[in-house]
Amino acid sequence: MKYSAFLIVLLINVLASPAQSHVSDENTKDKQTRAAVADEPDHVEGLGEAAIINADMAKRVGIEVSSAGPGTIERHLPLYGELVIPPNRQAQVRARFPGVIAQIKASVGDKVSKADVLALVESNDSLRTYPLTAPISGVVIQQYASQGEYTAGESLFSLADSSVLWVELKMFPASLDEIKTGLPVHIEARGGRVDSHISHILPVTGQPYVLARVVLDNSQNRFAAGERVRALVDAEIINVSLVVDNRALQQLDGKQVVFVREGTRYEPRPVQLGRTDGRFSEVLSGLHAAEDYVVVNSYLIKAEIEKAGAAHEH
């Protein structure tokens, strides 16, 4: 999430002025605390710099923390495919009896509900006008006839409901042993990610692959049929004793750190990481369970510490 220059300046000003009256006391307490725990065998050292941010300011600039603890690391297998509209959410609309189209009531792009009238047709046999209604709810994507034309059973409208899409992913023989129905899958498209699961695995006649089908909720119209997508299948879920959210990770003084919060104090803590799945990383050392670390907008704290360090050098 991005913040305006105003908020960043506001953060710096608060750190530089209102907090000055108690920063020296805080620093004294910090030194005493460090001295008191220096002999603890499980003490984790930081980098020696910290930022003091009161709770109100942290909330205003969007700093969010999480508690470190156990979690899972997913081993992913990538697949690629395309979004399609399920057959039961498509319809071709035809006149029931031959006749002349007396009136067109729907146009391409219109959203219609099931049973809405799309056109009126005058039957050749009875000379009575009857309504042509939508068999499903959806959008009119094609119109094949105009008012005054004769129709004898050909398609007049095409309707489609894209509120649910299928993701059809190509699976080649190398991945068949690891990918099964029911496995979680993460669909990546348009810079976002949607979680679902594999509902079916289907053979494709004459092709060297099978299709892994995933049902995708598209009620918010985020995606369109025909889009190419990448998917990550959870081939394995590994339980680990301590994980951090990857959004928390920053580079400071050449080291990978997270910012640990203790009251109003935010300290950079170097961490050694193990396995990662792109969203979470295993922590091998540098952080303890139940410690609060910054997940969102940790870059603001990094910027303040670097600014303070540059000022000290001058």
At the topology level of CATH, where does 165-236 sit? Answer: Elongation Factor Tu (Ef-tu); domain 3 (2.40.30)
Report helix, strand or coil for 170: strand
Predicted pLDDT at 9: 44
pLDDT surpassing 50 at residue 158: yes
Which one, of 189, 188, 168, 171, lies nearest residue 180 by Cα? 171
In the structure, what pLDDT confidence band is assigned to residue 20 with cuts at 50, 70 and 90? very low
Annotated domain spans of the chain: 5-75+239-313, 87-160, 165-236
Report helix, strand or coil for 230: strand
Predicted pLDDT at 174: 82
Question: Rounded distance, CA 68 to CA 71, Å?
Answer: 9
Alpha carbon of residue 7 to chain centroid: 26
Which one, of 306, 259, 308, lies nearest residue 64 by Cα? 259
Question: Rounded distance, CA 199 to CA 213, Å?
Answer: 6
C-alpha to C-alpha distances, 105 to 25, 127, 302, nearest whole angstrom: 76, 20, 61
pLDDT in tens, 89-124: 999 999 999 999 999 999 999 999 999 999 999 999
Mean of pLDDT over the chain: 85
Residue that has been written with the tokens 């460090």 in this structure: 34
Helix axes 5-16, 298-313, angle to 10 degrees: 50
Handedness of CA 82, 83, 88, 91 (dihedral sign): negative
In the structure, what pLDDT confidence band is assigned to residue 27 with cuts at 50, 70 and 90? very low
Contact present, 265 and 52 (Cβ < 8 Å): yes
* CATH class of the domain defined by 87-160: mainly beta
pLDDT in tens, 170-202: 999 888 888 999 999 999 877 778 999 999 999
**Interior CA angle at 221 toward 217 and 225, to 5°?**
80
User: Residue 279: enclosing H or E segment and its boundaries?
Assistant: none
The CATH code for residues 5-75+239-313 is 2.40.420.20
Contact present, 151 and 98 (Cβ < 8 Å): yes
Q: How large is the average pLDDT for residues 6-30? A: 41
Predicted pLDDT at 310: 63
pLDDT in tens, 257-295: 999 999 999 999 999 999 998 899 999 999 999 999 999
Higher per-residue confidence, 24 vs 182: 182
Q: Dihedral of the CA atoms 175, 178, 181, 184 (nearest 10)? A: -100
Q: Give the count of beta carbons closer than 10 Å to the beta carbon of residue 205.
A: 4
